[in-house]
Amino acid sequence: MTDEPFRTIIEPFRIHSVEPVRLTTRAQRAAALAAAGYNLFALPAEDVLIDLLTDSGTGAMSAEQWAAIQRGNEAYAGAPSFYRFREAVTSLFPFTHVLPAHQGRAAEKILFTAACGPGMVVPNNTHFDTTRANVEFTGARAVDLPVPEGLRPAARHPFKGNMDVAALERLLSERAGDVPLVMLTVTNNSGGGQPVSMANVRAVREVCDRFGKPLFLDACRIAENAWFIRVREPGYQDRAVADIIREMAGLADGMTMSAKKDPLANIGGWLAMNDGDLAMRCRNLEILTEGFPTYGGLAGRDLEAIAQGLREAVDHDYLRYRVRSVEYLGEALERAGVPVVVPFGGHAVFIDARAMLPHIDPLAYPGQALACALYTEGGVRGCEIGTVMFGLRPDGTETAAPMDLVRLAIPRRTYTQSHIDYVIEVVTRVAERAGRLSGLRIVSQPGQLRHFTARFAPAG
């Protein structure tokens, strides 16, 4: 008898406790959306049926994680929960200094406050919105250097998340003195959840070495990235994901992390690095805003949940299911003729709203219009990643973002295949009537990170 695999890749768990979802009518949803100023962030979550706004902190914890929570030790300093957390982190990311933080952006805020300032430039394959905002908040400039394929939604490339190494080299030859560090986001969230190859990390490392610059990973989805390396990059097919992560971490000098993504926790993050001087400055800032460095804004029980989640995040059966479940949604939408970013990313399917709604000008926010339509049609909440999110410059002017996407992010271990089948039906129905959708205009907005709080009205 051979151990021949089955075609169906099942959820490698059974459901342990359930949370009811509430069905609403189209009229209720239309009213809720108008009251929310056409901003899906302003909706009460109970009015959402399938919530694909984010995969951040929205996953289901395992029985072992809930059990670990009971072991949480809440000592202000030196809690055993911190040491268990640090052990789990350094077993994958062998950095000398590990500073817990309440979530990823807190780690970013500390790092960039310590390392950046006016006149500086931080290159990244593509900054996530909070990363960009934290860089810009110090007066520095955040520069995205994705490979050209990364900006073409329909271009098939196994590692569309890669950084353009030649562009990095050019930037460093011109402005090395202004660059405090280089960052790689794995997977590249804003670029479509696309992975970065180990070869690219190695090439970036070489350039950093030549210019004497530290390399930091924004490692929120590094387990999914490592899975893609395992299945797509020559030479990695027999390697364990944990091992691939260690290899990548070994090429870097530090990292920021949101434990709300791949580490399968509902809250948490950390900052890690090898440089002792930088770590000392970061620790002082951490105490100012997050807390003592052995809890960093988290309860001991949260540290325990993260430690256990990290062990589960690198399990191959889990990752195979995870990546397949995203692909399942993407393939069905592609079959239905919906323009989607290909290949599919690790945590989300990205719909190309600009291609789907060519009659809506980017400055009338096709991504926002599509996200609103998906909610009104079927109570599905996605997230615009486009001109609303990235179009407002620090000087207050507005331009079209490189792409107008709607991200359907899949929370980890949370929805079943029939939930996803329902989403496919909703998106397909909206796509069939795409020509009838119209754009939006902004009624009010803040000066930064406007997508969270801006209010809109139908255009025209």
State phi, psi for 335 to the nearest 5 degrees: -60, -35
Q: Considering the rule CB under 6 A, would residue 105 count as an interface residue with ligand F0G?
A: yes
Q: Considering the rule CB under 6 A, would residue 197 count as an interface residue with ligand F0G?
A: no
Q: How far is the CB of 7 from ligand F0G (least distance, A)?
A: 31
For ligand F0G, the closer of residues 88 and 360 by Cβ is 88
CB-based contact 208:244 (threshold 8 Å): no
d(CA 146, CA 83): 37
Q: How far is CA 48 from the centre of its chain?
A: 21
Q: How far is the CB of 193 from ligand F0G (least distance, A)?
A: 9
Q: Report whether the peptide linkage leading into residue 126 is cis, meaning its omega lies within 30 degrees of zero.
A: no
CA distances from 127 to 347, 365, 401 (A): 17, 21, 13
Range in contact with ligand F0G (rule: CB under 6 A) among 39-47, 99-107, 115-123, 155-163: 99-107
Binding ligand F0G (rule: CB under 6 A), the pick from 125, 138, 189, 225 is 189
Q: Considering the rule CB under 6 A, would residue 56 count as an interface residue with ligand F0G?
A: yes
Q: How far is CA 376 from the centre of its chain?
A: 25
How many residues are listed for the chain in this entry?
460
Closest CA to 271 of 279, 280, 263: 279
Binding ligand F0G (rule: CB under 6 A), the pick from 162, 185, 194, 325 is 185
Q: How far is the CB of 58 from ligand F0G (least distance, A)?
A: 9
For ligand F0G, the closer of residues 321 and 350 by Cβ is 350
Q: Considering the rule CB under 6 A, would residue 103 count as an interface residue with ligand F0G?
A: yes
**Side-chain half-sphere CA neighbours of 401 within 13 A:** 28
d(CA 51, CA 12): 22
d(CA 410, CA 26): 23
Give me the amino acid identity at 221. R
d(CA 133, CA 235): 37
Exposed (0-12), middle (13-18) or buried (19+): which is 19, by Cβ within 10 Å? exposed
CB-based contact 372:38 (threshold 8 Å): yes
For ligand F0G, the closer of residues 82 and 216 by Cβ is 216
Closest CA to 274 of 152, 97, 404, 52: 97
For ligand F0G, the closer of residues 412 and 437 by Cβ is 412
Q: Considering the rule CB under 6 A, would residue 54 count as an interface residue with ligand F0G?
A: yes
User: How would you classify the pairing of strands 380-381 and 215-218?
Assistant: unpaired
Range in contact with ligand F0G (rule: CB under 6 A) among 126-134, 162-170, 235-243, 301-309: 126-134
For ligand F0G, the closer of residues 128 and 228 by Cβ is 128
Q: Considering the rule CB under 6 A, would residue 131 count as an interface residue with ligand F0G?
A: yes
* Helix or strand run (H / E) with residue 142: strand 141-144
Q: How far is the CB of 459 from ligand F0G (least distance, A)?
A: 26
Q: How far is the CB of 258 from ligand F0G (least distance, A)?
A: 3
Q: Considering the rule CB under 6 A, would residue 39 count as an interface residue with ligand F0G?
A: no
Q: How far is CA 91 from the centre of its chain?
A: 22
Q: Report whether the peptide linkage leading into residue 343 is cis, meaning its omega lies within 30 degrees of zero.
A: yes
Residues 6+ apart with CB under 8 A from 76: 292, 295
Q: How far is the CB of 140 from ligand F0G (least distance, A)?
A: 17
Q: How far is the CB of 266 from ligand F0G (least distance, A)?
A: 11
For ligand F0G, the closer of residues 130 and 414 by Cβ is 130
Q: Considering the rule CB under 6 A, would residue 130 count as an interface residue with ligand F0G?
A: yes
Range in contact with ligand F0G (rule: CB under 6 A) among 20-28, 103-111, 275-283, 332-340: 103-111
**Scanning residues 247 to 276, which ones bind ligand F0G (CB under 6 A)?**
258, 260, 269
d(CA 194, CA 343): 8
Binding ligand F0G (rule: CB under 6 A), the pick from 82, 85, 128, 270 is 128
Q: How far is the CB of 432 from ligand F0G (least distance, A)?
A: 28
Instruction: Enter the tokens of residue 310.
Output: 């990290």
For ligand F0G, the closer of residues 36 and 111 by Cβ is 111
Q: Considering the rule CB under 6 A, would residue 109 count as an interface residue with ligand F0G?
A: no
Binding ligand F0G (rule: CB under 6 A), the pick from 92, 204, 220, 405 is 220
For ligand F0G, the closer of residues 131 and 294 by Cβ is 131
Residues near ligand F0G, by CB under 6 A: 54, 56, 103-105, 128, 130-131, 185, 189, 218, 220, 258, 260, 269
